[in-house]
Protein backbone atom coordinates (compact mmCIF):
# COMPACT_ATOMS: atom_id res chain seq x y z
CA UNK A 1 0.00 0.00 0.00
CA UNK A 2 2.76 2.47 0.94
CA UNK A 3 4.70 1.55 -2.22
CA UNK A 4 1.61 2.24 -4.35
CA UNK A 5 1.15 5.67 -2.70
CA UNK A 6 4.82 6.50 -3.28
CA UNK A 7 4.51 5.43 -6.90
CA UNK A 8 1.38 7.56 -7.37
CA UNK A 9 3.22 10.47 -5.76
CA UNK A 10 5.95 10.18 -8.41
CA UNK A 11 3.36 10.01 -11.17
CA UNK A 12 1.62 13.12 -9.81
CA UNK A 13 4.95 14.94 -9.52
CA UNK A 14 5.80 14.02 -13.12
CA UNK A 15 2.42 15.27 -14.33
CA UNK A 16 2.92 18.53 -12.45
CA UNK A 17 6.30 19.01 -14.16
CA UNK A 18 4.72 18.35 -17.56
CA UNK A 19 1.91 20.82 -16.83
CA UNK A 20 4.36 23.58 -15.82
CA UNK A 21 6.43 22.89 -18.93
CA UNK A 22 3.38 23.02 -21.21
CA UNK A 23 2.03 26.24 -19.68
CA UNK A 24 5.44 27.91 -19.77
CA UNK A 25 6.11 26.89 -23.37
CA UNK A 26 2.68 28.17 -24.39
CA UNK A 27 3.27 31.51 -22.67
CA UNK A 28 6.68 31.84 -24.30
CA UNK A 29 5.24 31.09 -27.73
CA UNK A 30 2.45 33.61 -27.18
CA UNK A 31 4.82 36.36 -25.99
CA UNK A 32 7.45 35.77 -28.70
CA UNK A 33 4.96 35.37 -31.57
CA UNK A 34 4.57 39.12 -32.09
CA UNK A 35 8.31 39.23 -32.76
CA UNK A 36 8.11 36.43 -35.33
CA UNK A 37 9.66 33.83 -33.04
CA UNK A 38 8.60 30.71 -31.21
CA UNK A 39 10.11 29.40 -28.00
CA UNK A 40 12.44 27.00 -29.85
CA UNK A 41 13.57 29.77 -32.22
CA UNK A 42 14.47 31.93 -29.26
CA UNK A 43 16.32 29.09 -27.53
CA UNK A 44 18.59 28.68 -30.56
CA UNK A 45 19.24 32.44 -30.71
CA UNK A 46 19.88 32.46 -26.95
CA UNK A 47 22.41 29.61 -27.14
CA UNK A 48 24.22 31.36 -29.99
CA UNK A 49 24.10 34.74 -28.20
CA UNK A 50 25.53 33.29 -24.98
CA UNK A 51 28.36 31.72 -26.92
CA UNK A 52 29.03 34.86 -28.95
CA UNK A 53 29.18 36.92 -25.77
CA UNK A 54 31.58 34.57 -24.02
CA UNK A 55 33.60 33.47 -27.02
CA UNK A 56 33.76 36.54 -29.26
CA UNK A 57 31.27 35.48 -31.91
CA UNK A 58 31.96 31.75 -32.01
CA UNK A 59 29.73 29.41 -33.93
CA UNK A 60 28.17 26.10 -32.94
CA UNK A 61 27.83 22.84 -34.80
CA UNK A 62 24.20 21.86 -35.26
CA UNK A 63 24.74 18.77 -33.10
CA UNK A 64 26.07 20.94 -30.26
CA UNK A 65 22.99 23.16 -30.46
CA UNK A 66 20.63 20.15 -30.48
CA UNK A 67 22.15 18.95 -27.21
CA UNK A 68 21.35 22.30 -25.61
CA UNK A 69 17.86 22.93 -27.00
CA UNK A 70 16.60 19.32 -26.91
CA UNK A 71 15.42 19.10 -30.51
CA UNK A 72 16.22 16.35 -32.96
CA UNK A 73 18.86 17.21 -35.53
CA UNK A 74 16.30 17.18 -38.33
CA UNK A 75 13.88 19.48 -36.47
CA UNK A 76 16.76 21.76 -35.56
CA UNK A 77 18.02 21.84 -39.16
CA UNK A 78 14.57 22.96 -40.35
CA UNK A 79 14.39 25.59 -37.59
CA UNK A 80 17.86 26.89 -38.46
CA UNK A 81 16.83 27.01 -42.13
CA UNK A 82 13.93 29.31 -41.19
CA UNK A 83 16.19 31.48 -39.02
CA UNK A 84 18.70 31.71 -41.87
CA UNK A 85 15.95 32.64 -44.34
CA UNK A 86 14.95 35.45 -41.95
CA UNK A 87 18.57 36.64 -41.80
CA UNK A 88 19.01 35.82 -38.10
CA UNK A 89 21.75 33.19 -38.47
CA UNK A 90 24.25 32.04 -41.07
CA UNK A 91 25.33 28.50 -41.81
CA UNK A 92 28.72 27.41 -43.05
CA UNK A 93 30.83 24.33 -43.50
CA UNK A 94 32.61 22.96 -40.46
CA UNK A 95 36.38 23.13 -40.94
CA UNK A 96 36.96 20.12 -38.67
CA UNK A 97 34.43 17.89 -40.43
CA UNK A 98 33.26 18.70 -43.95
CA UNK A 99 29.97 16.89 -43.28
CA UNK A 100 29.24 19.19 -40.35
CA UNK A 101 27.55 22.57 -40.43
CA UNK A 102 28.35 25.51 -38.16
CA UNK A 103 25.78 28.15 -37.23
CA UNK A 104 26.52 31.74 -36.26
CA UNK A 105 24.30 34.59 -35.09
CA UNK A 106 24.04 37.56 -37.49
CA UNK A 107 23.88 41.19 -36.33
CA UNK A 108 20.14 41.13 -37.12
CA UNK A 109 19.79 37.98 -35.01
CA UNK A 110 21.75 39.59 -32.17
CA UNK A 111 19.51 42.68 -32.28
CA UNK A 112 16.31 40.62 -32.21
CA UNK A 113 17.67 38.46 -29.40
CA UNK A 114 18.56 41.54 -27.37
CA UNK A 115 15.10 43.00 -28.01
CA UNK A 116 13.14 39.95 -26.86
CA UNK A 117 15.47 38.68 -24.11
CA UNK A 118 13.78 40.73 -21.35
CA UNK A 119 10.38 39.50 -22.52
CA UNK A 120 11.47 35.84 -22.44
CA UNK A 121 13.08 36.25 -19.01
CA UNK A 122 9.93 37.96 -17.68
CA UNK A 123 7.79 35.03 -18.82
CA UNK A 124 10.19 32.57 -17.18
CA UNK A 125 10.13 34.58 -13.97
CA UNK A 126 6.35 34.76 -13.93
CA UNK A 127 5.82 31.10 -14.78
CA UNK A 128 8.64 29.46 -12.82
CA UNK A 129 9.26 31.69 -9.81
CA UNK A 130 6.03 30.84 -8.05
CA UNK A 131 3.83 33.24 -10.04
CA UNK A 132 0.41 32.19 -11.23
CA UNK A 133 0.45 30.15 -14.41
CA UNK A 134 -2.28 30.45 -16.97
CA UNK A 135 -3.28 27.47 -19.05
CA UNK A 136 -2.73 27.59 -22.76
CA UNK A 137 -5.89 28.22 -24.78
Domains of the chain are 2-128 (1.10.10.10)
CA distance readout (Å), 6 to 11, 14, 17, 25, 95: 9, 12, 17, 29, 52
Q: What distance in Å separates the CA atoms of residue 51 and residue 15, rounded to the nearest whole number?
A: 33
pLDDT level of residue 92 (50, 70, 90 thresholds): confident
Higher pLDDT, 132 or 84: 84
Q: For 24-52, what is each residue's pLDDT tens digit?
A: 999 999 999 999 999 999 999 999 998 76
Q: What is the pTM of this model?
A: 0.82
Amino acid sequence: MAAKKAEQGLVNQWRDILAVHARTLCELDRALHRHGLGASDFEVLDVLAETAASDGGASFRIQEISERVHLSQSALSRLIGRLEKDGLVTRGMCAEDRRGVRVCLTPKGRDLHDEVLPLQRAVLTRMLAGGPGTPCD
